Amino acid sequence: MSAVQRQDERLTFTEVITLYQKRVYGYLLRFTRNSHDAQDLFQETFLRAHRAYVALPADADLRAWLMRIAVNLTKNYVRDRQRRAKVLVDEEKGHNLDGTLDLEDAGRDTESTMISRETARTLLATIETLPFHQRAALVQRQFEGLDYLTIATNLGCSQESARAHVYQALRKLRLALEHADSEAKGV
Amino acid sequence: MQNTRIHQLPCGFNENDLIAEALEESVSNLSQQVRAHVATCRSCAALLEQYRHLHSHLHSLSVPAGDAQELHAARRALDARLVGQTRPRLVIDVWHSPVGDIRIGKTDKGVVLVEFVKPAERDTATERWQKAFTLESGGPEVTDLIHNLEDYLSGKRRDLGWIVDDALMRSDFQREVLRATAEVPYGTVVTYQGIAAVIGQPKAVRAVAQALRYNPVPIHIPCHRVIGSDGSLTGYAGNLVEIKKQILTVEGIPVVETAKGLAIPKERMYVGWRHDRWFCRPTCSTLKDQPAGDRAFIPSRARAEEMGYQPCDECKPHVYPLA
């Protein structure tokens, strides 16, 4: 355990925020791919943490604790978006407003990185349909470069499960690309 | 289980090993195996290539960490919202009770903490509450609570009737465990397993015990009425077991000394069906069908009848009472 955690008794909540804000924001931004939502969830994470801080055991792992709050909030975020997307789809007969921002965003990268807009669209859309743990693990592994031990503590699962989530997600993404490819060729 | 599932390809190779290779996270001898295999297996070579492409596609899709300005804006907005959250008032006092010193704390929402205080910690332990509360000591509000506890410990009162502030509860799981525990009637005991069954998580026995160990409002939320499956008074660490015994004694529940420590002789107690409100002798044949969450142990026939429980037709505890 780091010196920081042992001194937990003396850390004010403001100090806790300063220590971990980058970590939390990084995850939220990579998950939502949208700074507006990331900022909202960032505030919500620390407001929740603030309410619970007093009941937190002195020897708790602050980073893992905060990350779990953030992870749980992204879980709710996915659920709310899916609910909202469903309403939109129902109301506007298939016009899905929800993905617009993400795809615009992806398109911006197209020229520089040689990934086709179509591939980006397929991958991002598939990521949105992944079960929550697979998606969260994938985001942390591929977009944040975290190791499996850290991902496991953030998700509250074993290291092996964290790895399995990432691999399962990659398998689905590969199949989605394969499928999109064969459709494009008219097979 | 997901993490042990092996993804075998038609050629007999494990797909996960290809993924690990594509992500450059396989250990060296596995990596050699993969390379040797793809040299001869064309479909695996193609698959590995797909995973490598996928890996680099994802890499190009990753968003940068976010500029410092965005984070700064988020932090400013957060600070502004935190300022609006003033620290709630916590009125706190210590009562030198017959079972030892008890600290009681109350916020404007309700009773937030009841703590058994070790003499050495009498003055220091409040520091941890200062982080989140504005402390005030004593006052008539807490004096009333102390009178309630006094009446309870002398057996004059069975229900403290307090409104609780759950600010110090650690999780929704703990809240659920404590809610289920609050339903256990005075003068009866149930097991950790029973509580786990009531909240619909029959396997979470240890987690239930842990949640009760950190009960912020003991006595009012009667974690003392929850015991181990073998009858032992586990959960109340250290000298607290002695306090648990005294509280149970006040409620008329027998506590005996065994080789493994203090325990409740539940094999010599009546068994109550909490839902249908009847009671049996502990040897009754109907008990094999009883769900774990429905079971309460009752020390005497008088107590069972007082609670409005009917005697079982099968074992007739009213005709053949326990010795």
Domain for residue B116, yes or no? yes
User: Would the pLDDT of A184 be above 50?
Assistant: yes
Asked if B43 and B121 sit in the same domain, the reply is: no
Cα dist. B267→A167, B64, B298 in Å?
Answer: 52, 64, 11
Distance CA B145, CA A84 (A): 48
Whether the CB-CB separation of B222 and B228 falls below 8 Å is answered with no
Give percent of chain A with pLDDT exceeding 70.
Answer: 78
Domain end among B166, B181, B202: B166
Asked if B153 and B39 sit in the same domain, the reply is: no
Torsion of Cα atoms, B273 then B276 then B281 then B285, to 10°: -100
pLDDT, one tens digit per residue, over A120-179 is: 999 999 999 999 999 999 999 999 999 999 999 999 999 999 999 999 999 999 999 988
In DSSP notation, B199-215 reads TT-TT-HHHHHHHHHT-
Residues 6+ positions from A148 with CB-CB distance below 8 Å: A141, A159, A162, A163, A166
Q: Is B248 exposed, middle or buried (0-12, 13-18, 19+ CB in 10 A)?
A: buried
Residues of B in contact with A12 (CB under 8 A): 131
Residues of A in contact with B4 (CB under 8 A): 160
The three state secondary structure string of A40-69 is: HHHHHHHHHHHHHHHHCCCCCCHHHHHHHH
User: Would the pLDDT of A113 be above 60?
Assistant: no
Domain for residue B18, yes or no? yes
| Average pLDDT over every residue of B137-166 | 92
| Average pLDDT over every residue of B136-159 | 91
User: Would the pLDDT of B278 be above 90?
Assistant: yes
Tokens at residue A136, please?
Answer: 């969260």
Asked if B175 and B238 sit in the same domain, the reply is: yes
Strands B134-137 and B278-280, bridge-based pairing: unpaired
Distance CA A109, CA B5 (A): 36
User: Would the pLDDT of A3 be above 50?
Assistant: no
**B 55-94 → A contacts, CB under 8 A:** 55, 57-63, 65-66, 70-71, 73-75, 77-79, 81-82, 85
Domain for residue B72, yes or no? no
User: Furthest-apart CA pair in chain A: how many Å?
Assistant: 65
Distance CA B180, CA B223 (A): 10
Give residue B239's pLDDT.
67
Lowest mean pLDDT among B39-53, B58-72, B287-301: B58-72
Give percent of chain A with pLDDT exceeding 90.
Answer: 56
Residues 6+ positions from A11 with CB-CB distance below 8 Å: A4, A19, A62
Domain for residue B31, yes or no? yes
Distance CA A163, CA A141 (A): 9
Domain end among B60, B76, B105: B60
Lowest mean pLDDT among B46-50, B64-68, B98-102, B158-162: B64-68
The total number of structural domains that make up chain B: 3
More confident site: B158 or B260? B158
Q: What angle do CA A73, B175, A67 make, to 5 degrees?
A: 25
Nearest to B3 among A106, A113, A164 (CB): A164
- Using the Cα atoms of residue B235, residue B238, residue B244 and residue B249 in order, give the sign of their dihedral: positive
Whether the CB-CB separation of A70 and A29 falls below 8 Å is answered with no
User: Would the pLDDT of B132 be above 90?
Assistant: no
In a 3-state reduction of DSSP, which class is residue B57? helix
- Domain that residue B139 falls in: 89-166
Whether the CB-CB separation of B149 and B102 falls below 8 Å is answered with yes
Look over chain B and give the mean of its residue pLDDT values, rounded to a whole number: 89
In a 3-state reduction of DSSP, which class is residue B150? helix
Q: What angle do CA B319, B321, B323 make, to 5 degrees?
A: 150
Catalytic residue positions of B?
Answer: 223
For B127, half-sphere exposure in the C-beta direction (CA atoms, 13 angstrom radius) is 11
We report the CATH number of the domain holding residue B242 as: 1.10.10.10
More confident site: A67 or B120? A67
Lowest mean pLDDT among A100-104, B151-155, B313-317: A100-104
Nearest to A54 among B55, B57, B131 (CB): B131
| Average pLDDT over every residue of A12-34 | 92
ipTM score: 0.79
Question: What is the pLDDT confidence band of residue A102, given thresholds at 50, 70 and 90?
Answer: very low
Across B2-24, b (16+ Cβ under 10 Å) vs e yields: eeeeeeeeeeebbbbbbbbbbbe
Residues of B in contact with A124 (CB under 8 A): 61
User: Would the pLDDT of A187 be above 90?
Assistant: no
| Average pLDDT over every residue of B181-194 | 95
Give residue A93's pLDDT.
43
Give residue B255's pLDDT.
94
Asked if B222 and B276 sit in the same domain, the reply is: yes
User: Would the pLDDT of B68 be above 60?
Assistant: yes
Give percent of chain B with pLDDT exceeding 70.
Answer: 93
The predicted model scores a pTM of: 0.60
Asked if B155 and B177 sit in the same domain, the reply is: no
User: Would the pLDDT of B128 be above 80?
Assistant: no
Cα dist. A187→A174, A181, B49, B241, B279 in Å?
Answer: 17, 9, 21, 73, 71
User: Would the pLDDT of A87 be above 80?
Assistant: no
Asked if B182 and B125 sit in the same domain, the reply is: no
Question: What is the pLDDT confidence band of residue A114, given thresholds at 50, 70 and 90?
Answer: low
Q: Which domains does chain A have, with CATH numbers?
A: 10-78 (1.10.1740.10), 117-187 (1.10.10.10)
Residue B261: left if φ>0, alpha if ψ -120 to 50, beta else—which one?
left
Give residue B140's pLDDT.
86
Could A54 and B2 be called an inter-chain contact, meaning their C-beta atoms sit closer than 8 Å? no
Tokens at residue B278, please?
Answer: 């009847």
We report the CATH number of the domain holding residue B107 as: 3.30.160.70
Where do the H-state alpha helices sit in B103-198? Answer: 127-130, 140-153, 172-182, 192-198
Q: Is B30 exposed, middle or buried (0-12, 13-18, 19+ CB in 10 A)?
A: middle
Asked if B304 and B207 sit in the same domain, the reply is: yes
Residue type, A137: A
Residue with the two structure tokens 């990521």? A127
More confident site: B252 or A14? B252
Of A125, A129, A149, A151, nearest to A138 (Cα)?
Answer: A151
A4: distance to nearest CA of chain B, Å?
17
User: Would the pLDDT of B125 be above 70?
Assistant: no
In a 3-state reduction of DSSP, which class is residue A163? helix
Could A123 and B57 be called an inter-chain contact, meaning their C-beta atoms sit closer than 8 Å? yes
Give residue B241's pLDDT.
84
Domain for residue B256, yes or no? yes
Domain for residue B69, yes or no? no
Q: What angle do CA B214, B220, B224 make, to 5 degrees?
A: 60
Look over chain A and give the mean of its residue pLDDT values, rounded to a whole number: 81
Give percent of chain B with pLDDT exceeding 90.
Answer: 62
Distance CA A29, CA A38 (A): 5
Lowest mean pLDDT among A9-13, A156-160, B62-66: A9-13
User: Would the pLDDT of A107 be above 60?
Assistant: no
| Average pLDDT over every residue of B170-190 | 94
**B 225-244 → A contacts, CB under 8 A:** none
Asked if B249 and B207 sit in the same domain, the reply is: yes
Asked if B142 and B255 sit in the same domain, the reply is: no
Question: What is the pLDDT confidence band of residue A10, given thresholds at 50, 70 and 90?
Answer: low
Asked if B45 and B117 sit in the same domain, the reply is: no
Domain for residue B177, yes or no? yes
B114: distance to nearest CA of chain A, Å?
14
Lowest mean pLDDT among A16-30, B106-120, B307-321: B106-120
**B 197-216 → A contacts, CB under 8 A:** 216
Domain end among B133, B150, B166: B166
Domain for residue B320, yes or no? no
Give residue B3's pLDDT.
40
Question: Taking CB atoms and an 8 Å cut-off, how many pairs form between chains A and B?
Answer: 125
Give residue B27's pLDDT.
84
Tokens at residue A156, please?
Answer: 């509250």
Asked if B207 and B307 sit in the same domain, the reply is: yes
Query: CA Rg, chain A, in Å?
Result: 19
Asked if B130 and B243 sit in the same domain, the reply is: no
Give residue A91's pLDDT.
52
More confident site: A12 or A151? A151
